[in-house]
Structure 1
Amino acid sequence: MSAPPVQATLDDFELGEEVAWGSLATIIDAIYKKNGKHYALKVLNKAQLVKKKVIRSALVEKDALIALGTRPQRHPGLVRLHHCFQDSLHLYFALDLATNGDMKVLVQKLGSISLDCARYYTAQLVDAVIFLHESGVAHRDIKPENILLNSEMRIMLADFGCSYIGKDMESEFLAKWPCRLFNRLEDIAPRTNTFVGTAAYISPELLSRSEANPTSPDIWAVGCTLFFFLYGTSPFTAATDYLTMKRVRALDYSLPPECDKGAADLMKELLVLDPMERIGVPPKSSSEKLRQHSFFVGTETSMPENDASPTTWSYINWQSLWKDSPPPIEVGPYRIRPHDASTTTEELWSGFESLQVNSD
């Protein structure tokens, strides 16, 4: 009988620089002394978790990561949990380190990314999301800052604090779906309608807390993320979260007339108010139908003559998606305006010393 694994502690890590931080967590580049590998050490302050009443979020993230990590097959597009431990003040997660930041920062630096880049990264996101759902996990907070980039510029989906975990979500929902109009919401989809996520990427069914397949909010977020890749903003962005959510409920967005036909068609099929009519959401659609959309695989006239891997990522070969080299990062249809990029700190502060204050 093998001995139980030794629990890691903070003393097992050599702490380096902070690489990210937020209201609840700080991410530190840390070296695990026993193997010399770098990890992203996510540190959560217990007092803050209690104060903001989000203790469950940390527990859900741990449960989701453990559920995914114990699957017979692991997915390369998901951050992996290596250690979790605690002390009197903090909770710690030792995760894969994303050495190239996240998609939000990457896209905002350029204004947008090219159509082929958007196709490649959206395909990787779709593949990771499908694996999640097949594993009984719905992410429910997919957004560009939660899509990390590893050393090879491939994605790693992170931050599972808003997740929903079920043994077989789709089967459980579909078994009750035919009589969904006649049953109470909590009998149809328990805890799948909890308000979670970020305003610009949250689905209308979560906003209205209506019954839905628990996988449907992730599919909606894929559509919002593709729009962000191409145009550097969410399709529903407004001055405040309230106005943003109002636009989501009204499906108030527009696509530029020059938008690629395939991309436009996919976003229109993803950004649908009724989740049951959304591409990729059972029972009316499926993950395979989403994978085979023309934006990813082309049309009959544009399909490649053989199964060779794409060189420009003008189409997706799903079999080699995680093996072939990523496309070079190129600027897309929306570019940062020159004056936006050239504004200096000195210009912003230029009038400060001229302010006059009456000291009497």
Structure 2
Amino acid sequence: MSTFWTEFLNAAANHPFPLTPGGFLSPLDMSPDDVLFPNVPPAPGMPCAGEDRSIYRRGARRWRKLYRVNGHIFQAKRFNRRAFCAFCQDRIWGLGRQGFKCIQCKLLVHKKCHKLVQKPCSNEHVDPVEVKDDANGESTLGRASSVRSRAEPEPPLPETPPAPAPPAPVRPEDLEPGSQRQYSLEDFELIRVIGRGSYAKVLMVELKRTKRVYAMKVIKKALVTDDEDIDWVQTEKHVFETASNHPFLVGLHSCFQTPSRLFFVIEFVRGGDLMFHMQRQRRLPEEHARFYAAEISLALHFLHERGVIYRDLKLDNVLLDHEGHIKLTDYGMCKEGVRPGDTTSTFCGTPNYIAPEILRGEEYGFSVDWWALGVLTYEMLAGRSPFDIAQAADNPDQNTEDYLFQVILEKTIRIPRSLSVKAASVLKGFLNKNPVERLGCGENGFLDIISHPFFKSIEWEMLEQKQVVPPFKPRLEGERDLANFPPEFTDEPVHLTPDNDTVIADIDQSEFEGFEYVNPLLMSLEDCV
């Protein structure tokens, strides 16, 4: 008898689990390909023979949304200056990306007007009417009546006086007592690389004045190439500020910038991420998974109450602090300003965690975070993704993003027989493909999660106050111990590439005005040092 069936029969004897309706298969429907890992790794953390490592650390992305009307290709646009709709002639205004801009002819319209545009796109550049304010706040040209093609002669415009030079950086010692301190790269010692993503590099740094250790997220401005990118940088900053008030979210120390880069100085969480630990543990006991899922639930609920959809929950973004409590990090995919009943439609996330309603192109709300928690809880309990495709690496047709999305939408989810009935129930609740029926999305919302039998043993008030002892405490020899970070990052040289003056010249620095920030709470703590 094969090892698989021996394990299966032993599990069946200890954990009776009936056939399950509603889109889930019982272990009786499983094949040997569905075993958690194909064999025993040569050492903890090493891959099994034949294991596909490509599923690890897949980055999150946004897919650009384009709207085609009469040959125009419109993209959402944020306007820093006054602009007027080419269709209705009214001013385009409001928070966020207020209108649409054709990426070919540069025509500007309201979102509500873009489907009404009758003039076809000429594929020729049309100068948008963006009107600056004068010193009194009045429009220098008044209300725009039309857009002008490049083929038409343009009236001469009055010369604009050169913009004043930006003020010199303020040094902490130059500030009056009680005023806000500002930081620069010179205030920090760069110690080690601890992470890297599509847009950013994360460093462990030390604030020289206090010797406190922080993480520093560094983003090249040249990679923030359009309005959507600038929006997510500002959103990440706002969510970092909000997150500073919760025990299970990584908070913000400060923000500053140079001509070429943006810097987020954030809490340094020393225990590593769940992906790192899962690659060594393979799967977690239910008690451990329950603890982490409960703390993650509290963090998500905190964000939802403040109008934030997280949209990037995954093992990589769940960190463990030195005591073993979780902290969510990386808010670049967040959507803020979401009121109860509001929805959004941006196609974004990490492929393996994207909810079915996003893939179907439907409007969605907070439901997508509870789906992602279901995927993550499944990974903790089963040691694999619910959407892993057997032998996908050997079949190019099945090793694609589109095929993965098809699996998420259509595949019946298999629950390992080794899991308890309560664990299987909570997974089925979170992984319901219908967001209306999903756990956490009903009329009672978060109360349905708290009262679920899987979380019966959780003392929620004590948990939120960090008075519950974590089931696992990372081994650390000091606050600079990096044993829980992947060597692929920590072995990188610690340096920032020299600035390229040509690249900097192409950056619109006005897009990043007001980025600087200092957390007053953390400042007061530092002043006590």
Percent sequence identity over aligned pairs: 33
Give the SS at the match of 1:219: helix
Alignment partner, residue 370 of structure 2? 219
CA RMSD between the two structures: 2.1
Whether the aligned pair in 2 keeps the contact of 1:136 and 1:169 (CA below 8 Å) is yes
Q: How many corresponding residue pairs?
A: 288
Give, in angstroms, the shift of residue 51 of structure 1: 8.3
Give, in angstroms, the shift of residue 142 of structure 1: 0.5
Question: 1:285-296 counterparts in 2 under 5 A?
Answer: 285-296=444-455
Whether the aligned pair in 2 keeps the contact of 1:9 and 1:85 (CA below 8 Å) is yes
CA separation in 1, counterparts of 2:252 and 2:258?
18
Q: Does 1:248 align with 2:408?
A: yes
**Counterpart of 2:448 in structure 1: which amino acid?**
K
Whether the aligned pair in 1 keeps the contact of 2:324 and 2:472 (CA below 8 Å) is no
**Counterpart of 1:169 in structure 2: which amino acid?**
R
CA separation in 2, counterparts of 1:193 and 1:211?
5
Q: Does 1:28 align with 2:179?
A: no
Q: Does 1:324 align with 2:495?
A: no
Residue of structure 2 aligned with 1:207, choices 359, 365, 385: 359
CA separation in 2, counterparts of 1:68 and 1:76?
8
Give, in angstroms, the shift of residue 292 of structure 1: 1.3
Which structure's CA Rg is the greater one? 2
Give, in angstroms, the shift of residue 108 of structure 1: 1.2
CA separation in 2, counterparts of 1:56 and 1:85?
17
Residue of structure 2 aligned with 1:194, choices 341, 346, 352: 346
Give, in angstroms, the shift of residue 80 of structure 1: 0.1
Give, in angstroms, the shift of residue 291 of structure 1: 1.1
CA separation in 1, counterparts of 2:335 and 2:226?
23
Q: Does 1:13 align with 2:157?
A: no
Q: 1:4 to 1:234 in 2, by over 3 A?
A: farther
Q: Does 1:129 align with 2:307?
A: no
CA separation in 2, counterparts of 1:67 and 1:154?
19
Give, in angstroms, the shift of residue 105 of structure 1: 0.9
Unaligned runs of 5+ in 2: 1-175, 390-398, 475-529
Whether the aligned pair in 2 keeps the contact of 1:18 and 1:27 (CA below 8 Å) is yes
CA separation in 2, counterparts of 1:156 and 1:258?
28
Give, in angstroms, the shift of residue 4 of structure 1: 4.0
Q: 1:250 to 1:147 in 2, by over 3 A?
A: same
Q: Does 1:90 align with 2:256?
A: no
Give the SS at the match of 1:44: strand
Q: Does 1:55 align with 2:230?
A: yes
Whether the aligned pair in 2 keeps the contact of 1:251 and 1:273 (CA below 8 Å) is no
Whether the aligned pair in 1 keeps the contact of 2:291 and 2:470 (CA below 8 Å) is yes
Give the SS at the match of 2:348: coil
CA separation in 1, counterparts of 2:451 and 2:473?
24
Question: 1:336-347 counterparts in 2 under 5 A?
Answer: none
Give the SS at the match of 1:88: coil
Question: 1:141-152 counterparts in 2 under 5 A?
Answer: 141-152=312-323
**Counterpart of 2:352 in structure 1: which amino acid?**
A
Q: Which has the higher helix share?
A: 1
**Counterpart of 1:115 in structure 2: which amino acid?**
E
Q: What's the TM-score once normalised by structure 2's chain length? A: 0.52
Alignment partner, residue 274 of structure 1? 434
**Counterpart of 1:259 in structure 2: which amino acid?**
L
Give, in angstroms, the shift of residue 209 of structure 1: 2.2
Give the SS at the match of 2:312: coil
Q: 1:3 to 1:126 in 2, by over 3 A?
A: same
CA separation in 2, counterparts of 1:159 and 1:216?
19
Give, in angstroms, the shift of residue 3 of structure 1: 4.9
Give, in angstroms, the shift of residue 2 of structure 1: 8.0
Once the two structures are superposed, residues 170-191 of structure 1 have per-residue CA deviations (whole angstroms, 9 ceiling, x without a partner) of 2xx1xxxxxxxxxxxxxx62xx
CA separation in 2, counterparts of 1:202 and 1:85?
32
Give the SS at the match of 2:192: strand
CA separation in 2, counterparts of 1:25 and 1:296?
36
Alignment partner, residue 184 of structure 1? none
Whether the aligned pair in 2 keeps the contact of 1:201 and 1:234 (CA below 8 Å) is no
Alignment partner, residue 4 of structure 2? none
Once the two structures are superposed, residues 60-95 of structure 1 have per-residue CA deviations (whole angstroms, 9 ceiling, x without a partner) of 2112212333xxxx2110000110111011110011
